[in-house]
Amino acid sequence: MFKKILLPTDGSELSSRAISGAIDMAKKLGAKIVGMTVVEPYSYSSLSEYRPESYEDYEARMNKVAQERLDALAAAGKAAGVEVETKIARSFSPYEAIIEMAKKNDCDAIFMASHGRRGLSAVLLGSETQKVLTHSTIPVLVYR
């Protein structure tokens, strides 16, 4: 069935629970996990001349945050005996980065969390999961 599963994480509690679900599924299927996180690139916007941190400081902070997320995912995989490869993507559009990462790594499926927002809050806040569901050409498993 699925041999390589893309597992995006944003470091949230819900995402952490999805990691457990994905690892359980991967273990049962004998699948490998490609874990990823998306960080926003440094904004060079000319809207403001005030920059609270330099490019180098921003990159260092984002790399640290991303690595902490991926280390937790890799540790969970190792504890369960599931092979996990980790990747960092930089994008202003997380859903596009997720779909592109799945393609680049020949993943059979994407396993991701959803906050389950409905109604007006879903419309106003949007949903990266919904966007992935809409635009992905491979199966997307949504964990809630």
- Kind and range of the H or E element at 140? strand 140-143
Rounded distance, CA 80 to CA 108, Å? Answer: 21
Q: Give Rg (Cα) of the chain.
A: 16
- Residue 51 φ/ψ, nearest 5 degrees: -120, 110
Percent of the chain with pLDDT over 90: 77
Across 10-46, b (16+ Cβ under 10 Å) vs e yields beeebbbebbeebbebbeeeebbbbbbbbbeebeeee
Are the beta carbons of 114 and 129 closer than 8 angstroms? yes
User: From 3.40.50.880, 3.40.50.620, 3.90.650.10, 3.40.50.150, which CATH number describes the 4-143 domain?
Assistant: 3.40.50.620
Overall pTM surpassing 0.85 (yes/no)? yes
pLDDT band at residue 54 under the 50/70/90 scheme: confident
pLDDT at 124: 45
Beta bridge partners of 35: 7, 86
What is the average pLDDT value for the chain, to the nearest integer? 90
pLDDT band at residue 119 under the 50/70/90 scheme: low
Average pLDDT for residues 27-35, to the nearest whole number? 98
Sole residue written with tokens 């969390």? 113
pLDDT exceeds 60 at position 123? no
pLDDT band at residue 46 under the 50/70/90 scheme: low
pLDDT band at residue 125 under the 50/70/90 scheme: very low
Average pLDDT for residues 23-45, to the nearest whole number? 94
Q: What residue segments make up the domains of the chain, in order of their start? A: 4-143
